[in-house]
Each structure stands twice: as structure tokens, then as C-alpha cells.
Amino acid sequence: MIASQKEKAGGSCPKATIPPIVLRRHVSKDVQRFLFVRAGGRCEFDGCNKYLLRHHLTRSDGNFADMAHIVAYSESGPRGRMPRPLGIHDPENLMLLCHDCHKLIDDDPGRYSVAALKENKRRHEERIFHVTGLGPDLETTVVQLKAKIGGQAVDIPVAHVTEAVSPRYPTDPRGYVINLTGINGEDETYYRTATREIRRQIERIYEPGMDVEKTRHISLFALAPIPLLVYLGSQLSNKIPMDPYQRHRDTENWMWKQMGIPVGYEFRPLRTGRDKKKVALVLSLSGTVHLEDLPKQIDDRFHVYGITLMGQTPNPYFLNLQEDLVRFKEVYLKSLRSIYDEHGALKEIHLFPAVPAPVAILCGRELLPKVDPELVVYDYNGAKGGFSLALRIERSSKS
């Protein structure tokens, strides 16, 4: 082998030069498509979900998305000194974001860490994967009833609705809103006006060509005084399946819990009256209704029956599982049959409910029109000294 002149002079061989790794800012079309599909074309920042293929004002189609790096393209960029992935433009290091959310996370990288952004991305993409896998038979029509309670009205966030109805998905997350918040008061005029509006809106919802005809299912979210909820239930058709939801006080969301011990209920007579045709039914579930709480017109002529929780004190936290609602329905219907067996055909039953919203709705919905007696519904108002007559639900055909 012939040595080089430098080796002959006693020098060493020059070291091989490794070409530097050149980072390219360009994100390949394949990666872009992959990310758009996984994100569903929506901003992946937690709580945003903005659709990025249509301008939010002009509604014109276009690409209004940013391909945002979790670990920055440059080491001097946001989160750039964190452990760097082998592929800086790999889908796992990219988030589909709107311009505003992209600026937010890059302006405050201390708050929006790599771990936090990856968790945003994971949850968003898993939700998109789940929703896009649902079949058309899982569509539902969302119906909301809103009224003031204690002078206040509460909005139901769209995200809570979508979360609660899963694995069903709503044709419109906001759905049909029966808004009674403009009606004030607690007197006879208030209930007359409110029930008239509920009936008008429910009739409209069941009209041919409306979403209910297509989905054949209703998801019901209602916040209103208990008598209005009973009336709402009486107007809902038994021919269309319906799932009512409630706002849980501990979690402050509307999702039925998946684990827990089901609740038991018991029906029993509370007082024997003098007149076989006068009957009152007390529902002590969210709270205890004592005989002395009943108004003076429910005198010793009345037979009084009660449904309460089995093995626990009535409380506002008992209703957690959908199974709890199914069990109440079974006991409620058996109770009505027992009352009819004992008293024969009745013109009316006086109802005193201390119950959560879904139970109140079932009390009205499970009545058979032209068969079951009228419900005379009372509402509890501490400021007025207890229960007072709110409304009468008459026998009528449903929508």
C-alpha cells in the first residue's frame, strides 16, 4: 500500500467527516393527511374542538389549521430542549390546532408541557376514533327543558351533552331547547303558561319530518321545577324510546355512572283514610316528606301511600345508575296497580314528590292516557310553609 505524503511526514490520516443532519420544516403530505384524519379536522387543544376546514365567519371551505409541534422544530423553540423524538415531524409529535390555540401553547410552554399536550392529543384522537365508529342506529335527538329554579337559570354545556349520551351521538348536540326562563313566578298563572309552552313545543318535536322521526330516540336534559318535569313526562310519547339524564352534584356532569350498588325502593301504606276514593302518593327519595308536611286539605279522609329508598335515608345523591331509574319505574307502576286493586277506578291521585328530575319525568310519562287517573301535583316551597298545589295533569292522549 502506498502511504500518503502526510503519512510519510509522520502525520495521521484525516478523520472521515459525518454530514450534519439537516432538519426540514416541510411536513409530508402523507403525515398531514394522517394527522387530519386522526384529529377529525378539528383543533386538538382540550375544550376547543374548532372545525378547521371551514372559516368560522364566512363559512367558506379551506384549510385553516396549523401543524403544531409538541417538541419544537428548533431546540430554541417552545419545549425544544425536552428529549427530542427521532422524527421531529412524526405524527406523534404534531397536533392539529387552530391559530389561537397554537399561539397559546407556544407563548406559555411552561404551562403547556409536552406531557399535557400529548394527553390532549390522546384524548381528542381517541374520541374521534370512537365517534366515527358509531353506526346510524345510535343517533339520538337531544331535547332540553330550561326553567328558572330559585330565580336562577342554568345552561347545559354542549360538551356535557355529547359526553353523557355516548355511545349514542346527537344529530345536534344542543338539540331542541324548550326555554321557559322568560316566564317568572311560582303561582297558578306561571304553571298554566309554562305547561302550555311545553305542550306546544313537544307537539312540534313529534311533527313529521322532525329529527325524532329519523332517530326514533330522545335524550332528555331538564332543569325545571318538579311539577313541570312531571308534566313534561306526561307529554312524551311512549312510542319513542327516551333516556332522561340528570346533573350529578358530586361530579357536576350529566353522565350516568358505570359502577355502584343499585338502589332499592319500597312501597307501603302510610295512613288509612275514611274515603276510599281519596288517595295521596308521597315520594320520599331526594328528601323525606312527613305526613305533617302535607297541606291541610289532605285530611283524614285521604289514604296516604309512600315510595321511599330501601335501607337508606332519602338523600339528593342516591340516583347514580341508569338501573336505579329502571328499578324506580318498576316499583312505581306496581304501586299504582296496588292502589287501583285496593281502591278501584280513581278520578285522581294527589302526588307529593321529593325526587330528582329523571324520576319526576317518569312519574308523568308512565301514566296511561285515558286509563290512569289524573295526577294532582304539589310543589314544596319552604318560603310558603310547605307543599302547595302546582298543577293538575289531566287524562289526555299523548303526542
Rounded distance, CA 188 to CA 58, Å? 47
DSSP string over 49-111 = --BSSB-TTT--B----EEEESS-SSTTSTTTTSPPPS-TTSGGGEEEE-HHHHHHHHH-TTT
The CATH fold assigned to 137-245 is: Rossmann fold (3.40.50)
Query: From CA 97, how far away is CA 117, in angstroms rounded?
Result: 11
For 222, phi then psi, to 5°, come to: -140, 130
d(CA 157, CA 162): 9
Tell me the per-residue pLDDT of 288-318, one tens digit each, with 9 for 90 and over.
999 999 999 999 999 999 999 999 999 999 9
The pLDDT of 50-75, averaged and rounded, is: 92
Any bridge partners for residue 311, and if so which?
none
DSSP 8-state symbol, 366? T
- Tens of pLDDT, residue by residue over 74-99, are 889 999 889 998 889 999 999 999 99
User: Residue 306's beta-bridge partner residues?
Assistant: 268, 282
pLDDT tens sequence across 356-386? 999 999 999 998 777 789 999 999 887 777 8
Of 115, 79, 90, which is closest to residue 35 (Cα–Cα)?
90
pLDDT at residue 167, as a whole number = 85
The whole-angstrom separation of Cα 204 and Cα 104 is: 44
Q: End-to-end alpha-carbon separation of the chain, Å? A: 101
Preceding omega of 369 cis (within 30 degrees of 0): no
- pLDDT given for residue 11 in this prediction: 47
pLDDT tens across 311-347, in order? 999 999 999 999 999 999 999 999 999 999 999 999 9
Mean pLDDT of 44-50: 93
